[in-house]
Structure 1
């Protein structure tokens, strides 16, 4: 039996610098950055004091008082974003058989913001060793179980099919889309609302990354602090956000005359089984994920028109990724444009993979490659075309997007222009 083909027919994005896919794309295509000094709390005690925050007003964006009280910030981001994706798809979810509609949500750190806030409340700012649960929000249990994110999104569209959370660190967003694609291919669902969300900008998260010196200490220039592939880079900038997609079977999308952004042509993930935070310099595991994803898409390396890189801005990652591109794409690695949108919207951990998928499908639609902002000084070890500073008009029919995460996770997804279905 021929596997069903899966396409993206709806896109929603809530990211630093703008709420909604339109504002998100404007930021990327103009090469603007949304990184700034942390405003959610006093960052003075920390080594890294910058982040990419979202100016997010849940009430203004349609959430009611009970929803706001019930949901952690990451869940709120997911629901608002899912509503945008659902509306963008043009699908009437109420008319679909509920058991044929699924949800897959990725998240690396779950309800970190809510848990951090509630601990401060019940412990009276950390002064009480024996905390008083009476001061906690009534829905605190939801903060402890990331499955509540998927449940909230499922309630949004009335999904009664397979509903799940994928948590594989910083590849969660890519892996959630990959898992959703498989659900449709195997026939377990006809439509899946898939993507990821994370809102990790909290004291505990900042402290954790400070401890391992993964984030940048460039506090005097927040707008230019995220510098993937630049010779002066010194760590990533923490971010937050969500991106969600409506995925459906190609023939069904064609029959209803849907707009089709892209086909999910290939996906693969690997693990280096090597170190919790360390990466092998040869990029072998990421290269293998890329090769398998391209093989599933039945495409040669030179078919890739644009690579949306993980590009975190740490020296270890950028070297590892450059080696992986050379190993998997061969000589084509030196010709294909590659860029990192983390230079503009920071690193939102589990959410960033889906945000980068959104950047990829919008790049295909517009035939524009977003730039790597703040890339001014070439690093001899990162000697590929990383599209410095300015966006580039470029015909883009096939995009490769990759992710790398703590624990050694490496994922790759191949998106193609769906030809007659476009």
Structure 2
């Protein structure tokens, strides 16, 4: 019999406030956390806005040595992991450390520190040959992405499977899916899983500028992220993190743990087609959805809410609308769909985990977050996207999906702990 996997603790750091309560308040109020970039002068760039997190590493309890050693993304991950363990009530130190693992997702890893170090070594790009005399002692930590999950493992004392998952913008879903699979197969009993990305740096902004994926609506940052709206013109870059404590259900029940949700199904597919292009029929995402629902032994009619990828690009919004119709049939027109990227932006590899947190809270509170800034839907996006205002609704089963550069398409089914499969 397959072991059931549940979420018993979580920590989140997202734009708009620190911690779970501020995060949920932002989402349910329909407010946005997008603003003009303050980390550097954005005036030379096409897109000059982002969703920045107000994160103070020292106030979060990190020591000066930890702050010096760790990239900003790793700091986010460690803070969220500590919060997740505390929230779970789990005494990790009393467990067999070889049965505790970490699965962390990130798209660009330590991009911010790598760029800062390059600027120092090259004298802000003026020197073609970099000067090793200015090399940071922590350059290895920034260069090798696997250091990030290692930092989390050191934080919680995990000596079991530890892995970095970097599948672009589906990393935050895929890292949690990987952790679920390790518990299913018996390789671990407890996993710290989630994702962190802090990509608001000049080089990342320039990269998305080059392909015109981000919005140039610089004069109105608050309303710039407009998933499914007919006037949308690109996504808003963001940063953030979310980490979860995943446990085998029976073990969690025996210790009397609070269970937020069961991760009942997960699947990922690749379109093997194009780095950024998406086929209009949504076939690959639809297949991931179909397999995730089958794994959860849940039919389409049981889905109460779809947490969409909803990046705010025309290509993506139309692609996943087609995928919902293809995989769910007539249910696609009845179930509410929304995109929280309209409020917290697109934090690349981290967003999938942040969206899992939103989905889990939707189950806990029986509230569907809205799609902010949606005033006039694209005629090709003709589903119920919950515009502007949150909606009270019984939510027992959530489908959350992600789409990433490279053709990655992932889907996950979360279910209320007391709900039965359809």
TM-score range, shorter chain: over 0.9
Q: Is the 8 A contact 2:396 2:419 kept in 1?
A: no
Distance 1:133 1:114 in 2: 16
Which residue of 2 is the match for residue 31 of structure 1? 30
Name the counterpart of 1:306: 305
2: CA distance, partners of 1:18 / 1:133: 39
Alignment match, 1:369 = 368
Aligned to 1:393: 392
Q: Secondary structure at the match of 1:419?
A: coil
CA distance in 2, matches of 1:20, 1:225: 24
Per-residue deviation, residues 225-276 of structure 1 (Å, max 9, x unmatched):
0000001000000000000000000000000000000001000000011100
2:81 maps to 82
C-alpha offsets along residues 273-320 of structure 1, whole Å, 9 cap, x if unaligned? Answer: 110000000000000000000000001101000000000000000000
| Distance in 2 (alpha carbons) for counterparts of 1:420 and 1:191 | 22
Contact 2:108 2:199 in 1 (8 A): yes
1:149 equivalent to 2:187? Answer: no
SS at match of 1:170: helix
Match of 1:341? 340
CA distance in 2, matches of 1:376, 1:116: 38
Name structure 1 gaps, 5 residues minimum. Answer: none
Correspondence for 2:104: 105
Give the drift of 1:121. Answer: 0.8
Structure 1, 17-26 or 167-176: larger mean CA deviation: 17-26
Deviations 1:146-169 (A, max 9, x none): 101100000111000000000100
How far, CA to CA, are the matches of 1:19 and 1:94 in structure 2? 27
Measure how far apart 1:134 and its partner are. 2.3
Shift of 1:133: 2.2
Aligned to 1:146, the other structure's residue is in SS state coil
Is 2:270 the counterpart of 1:271?
Answer: yes
Partner in structure 2 of residue 413 of structure 1 = 412
Shift of 1:11: 1.0
Distance 1:223 1:83 in 2: 31
* 1:128 equivalent in structure 2: 127
2:47 corresponds to which residue?
A: 48
- Give the conservation status (yes or no) of the 8 Å contact 2:278–2:316: yes
Q: For residue 251 of structure 2, what is the aligned residue in structure 1? A: 252
- Structure 1 residue 132: Cα displacement: 1.2
Q: Counterparts of 1:144 and 1:23 in 2: how far apart (Å)? A: 33
Deviations 1:343-385 (A, max 9, x none): 0000000000000000000110000000000001121110000
Q: How many angstroms apart in 1 are the aligned matches of 2:239 and 2:202? A: 14
Contact 2:102 2:179 in 1 (8 A): yes
RMSD: 0.8
- Aligned residue for 1:239, secondary structure, equals coil
Tell me the matched-pair count: 420
What secondary structure, in the 3-state scheme, does the structure 1 residue paired with 2:8 have?
strand
CA distance in 1: counterparts of 2:147 and 2:22, whole angstroms: 28
The equivalent residue for 2:185 is 186
TM-score by length of 1: 0.99
Q: Is residue 241 from structure 1 mapped to residue 240 from structure 2 by the alignment?
A: yes
Secondary structure at 2:364 match in 1: helix
- Give the 3 Å change call, closer, same or farther, for CA 363–420 of structure 1 in structure 2: closer
